[in-house]
Structure 1
Amino acid sequence: MNGDWLIRGRDGRLSVYLTSDDAVLCRTERAPGGPWDGPRRVGGDQRVHPVLAVGQGADGYAHLTSWRPTVKGESGLVHSTHFRPLLAPLDWTPVGHPNKKGGLTGPPAVAVDAEGRAYVFVRNAGTGLSMAAQKEKGGWEPWRDLKGKGVEGPPVAVTGESGRVEAYAAVADGILYWRQDEPGAQPVLEEAVETPVRPGTLRALATSPQHTTLFYTDESGDVRAWRPGSKPASVLTAAGPGPVAAIRCELDGHDCTLLAQRAAGGRVAFAAYPTEQESSGAWWTESGPPLPDDAEVALAVDHEDRVVAATLSLSTGALHLTRRKDEPGLALEAWRKA
């Protein structure tokens, strides 16, 4: 999965999205902070591949993108919108293929601009990055080749505080960065940085009115933070092999960035530091029971603006959550199965 698969809807309820063999599933709180419903199928009866990208707009709507089989040996991208957690998401609608037709080219990413339009990014057959954007009055603009070459692993897409959409992708010797010059415009390749990045570890977060920050793991095993226009900065040694989850939140009155990652020993590791101040230092604190190797970690803020952490086993669908206590620091409640 790519993006924030744990999100808070407009009504304060949390939802999680997960994949099965031929469907995307959704689980939702019955009431904010309350018990959870069982899994529901997203997008009607259409079969999709076990691939999912999730993005959320300022309006609270979730945008989901996956691949579905079309004719033998070929697939196309599809999109669904989930307006409110207790409502059924819309049926899957076709977005097409970055090369007009063909097989899966890679995991997609999706971001939503200030006007609520979804932007779907995916590697194309030429190993560059392509994008399709929603029209204001429904439907999709044609696929655009955003250039670049040698994209490895899933790209990530993020909407800055300005409402403009940005995208990042790993290549063999570094990271490529695309950004909209103005709202509604096609993102353009603005910058590249040479850095030893591990594909599949990218995570982007809006961190100020001027910047988004990309977190990734380098070949030495350090989590690094990069804001275009500057040099990558080391944050701390990675707790485990996968990507970090990241969120901005208030801790003891300070604007902080909270990171979470499945540690090598299986537990969830947390680290926090003042936003955009990587030089302040950060260190991991582990929490909860050991998790399966395929478990993913996500962060969100609930209806009471408390940090929520979730873990999801992709093989079993087991979902566990914890919330921050009303205490100084990052004290967490006991982990509970939903």
Structure 2
Amino acid sequence: MGSEIVAATDGGHAASNWLRLGRDGRLTAYASCADGLVRWTESSPGSDHWQGPELLPVEDWHGRFTLSQDSDGFISFAGMRHREGMPGGLEFIVATQYQTARPLSAWRPVGNPFRTNEPTLSGLGDPVVLTDGAGLLHVVGARFGQGVRGRTRSTDGAWGKWTDLDGKWVRGSVVPLVTSEGYGEYLTPFRGGAVYVRQERPGAAFKWRGRVHADAVEGTYSSYETSPGIGTYFWRHPADGSVVAYRPRSAAGQASALMPLGGAGGVGPVGIVRTPVNGYDCTVMLQLGAEGYPEIGAYPTEGEQYGAWWAPVGDRCVGLPAMGIDGLGAVTIAIVDMDGGLRVARRDLSEVGLAFGAWRRVG
């Protein structure tokens, strides 16, 4: 497709983790436009030449999406489209990309579990999708006052019915994570805290595992596996927008206390990767700063007590910046610029610390 295709410059891409590494070592960036998804793909691992922007059209596209990646490298998308006769006129849809730069599967409609007498579905969070270690694909939706509902596709492709996963007073989307051991889990945010839900084993039902009482800015949650089988969740404190971290379970089975990580004034969820820095395993965070510029922070993984440093790293952008590790092992940052194009900067592995090279517009 031609260069006239641009991502939505109102930050229409909803996903906070929209830069992904394929099994062939190439990165792909995803955003949203009026007619569907926009995709850019590296021509080779670590290359400054990218294919795209490429339009992946979606009929009656609502404009927002979430995505996840399974252990096979398959990338699954969840979103909504306008559909007459559905609650609030919206239908949940899912699709999967099985190989880098290849076409997506057909978008599968999975319905909408939330009844309404209103013209719009107020309080509706974006649907999320996750694939557990047993190969089951789960679509989870949430609506304030009605709770969390999930639907599962088995390995033979058959879809089960929508089931009630409780969480009546949920605010926004659930926050999913699949560990390297294949366990699916998520946080269900509510006013003043969140409920932790996890499978007993891959393929099993999701069950309540605990609760954390902590104020948070709505819509700022993210998650990352910070040690084998252990997920850490991040969100913003309402007092100043700073980032806090929380582990619902540790290697000893105990929940952590809330751990402050700075980044005051930032907005939205943070992007997360893990990478060695000066010989130490570090967790690297990427946020949209208060002035609309990306900012990067880092700290020793699961060593939140040591604090994190933050620094600006790039030009003004729309929507959330994204981060991943490229096929050559370099932390890579991507933004959608003010014209709806893609810009990329990579860590300079020849430098000490966490230094980045020049930004390049690749689409």
Contact 2:347 2:357 in 1 (8 A): yes
- 1:226 matched to which residue of 2? 246
1:329 aligned residue: 353
Deviations 1:230-286 (A, max 9, x none): 221111143412221111122222221100112112322111111111001111011
Q: What is the letter of the counterpart of residue 19 of structure 2? A: L
Q: Which amino acid aligns with 1:142?
A: K
Determine helix, strand or coil for the equivalent of 2:308: coil
The equivalent position to 2:227 in structure 1, one of 198, 208, 211, is 208
State the shift of 1:181 in Å: 1.0
SS at match of 1:52: strand
AA aligned opposite 2:159? W
For the residues of structure 1 that align with 2:37 and 2:115, how far apart are their CA atoms?
24
Alpha carbons of 1:117 and 1:172: their partners in 2 closer, same or farther (altered >3 Å)? same
Q: TM-score, structure 2 length as denominator? A: 0.86
Partner SS, residue 154 of structure 1: coil
Q: Within 5 A, what are the aligned runs for 1:233-252? A: 233-252=259-278
CA RMSD in angstroms comes to 1.9
Identity of aligned residues (%): 33
For 1:120, give the aligned amino acid: V
Once residues 69 and 230 of structure 1 are traced to their aligned partners in structure 2, the CA distance between those partners, rounded to angstroms, is 42
Instruction: Tell me, yes or no, if the aligned pair for 1:2 and 1:52 is still in contact at 8 Å.
Output: yes
Deviations 1:43-94 (A, max 9, x none): x552321010100011111001111122155221111110112211111011
Asked if the contact 1:121/1:157 (under 8 Å) is kept, the reply is no
Q: Which moved more, 1:274-283 or 1:249-258?
A: 249-258
Q: Deviations along 1:165-189, whole A, 9 cap, x unmatched? A: 1111321111121111111112112
Q: Give the distance between the partners of 1:189 and 1:171, measured in 2 at CA.
A: 14
Mapped pair 1:253 → 2:275: no
Question: Which residue matches 1:69?
Answer: 82
Find out whether 1:271 has 2:271 as its counterpart.
Answer: no
Query: Which amino acid counterpart does residue 245 of structure 1 have in structure 2?
Result: G
CA distance in 1, matches of 2:217, 2:76: 27
- Contact kept, 8 Å, 1:3 with 1:156, in 2: the verdict is no
* Equivalent residue number for residue 318 of structure 1: 341
- Could you tell me how far apart the structure 2 residues matched to 1:234 and 1:193 are? 15
Q: Point out 4+ residue stretches in structure 1 off by more than 3 angstroms.
A: 99-104, 124-127
Deviation at 1:101, TM superposition (A): 8.2
Does structure 1 retain, via aligned residues, the 8 Å contact 2:143–2:172? no
For 1:219 and 1:123, locate their aligned partners in 2 and report how far apart those are by CA, in whole Å.
Answer: 22
Say how many residue pairs are matched.
334
Q: Distance in 1 between matches of 2:331 and 2:94?
A: 29
C-alpha separation in 2, matches of 1:176 and 1:79: 25
The answer for the alignment partner of 1:15 in structure 2 is 28
Report deviation, 1:3.
4.4
Aligned-partner residue type, residue 320 of structure 1: R
Q: Deviations over 1:148-202 (max 9, x none)?
A: 1221122221111221111113211111211111111121122111111111110
The residue type equivalent to 2:65 in the other structure is L
- Partner Cα distance (1:282, 1:259) in 2: 9
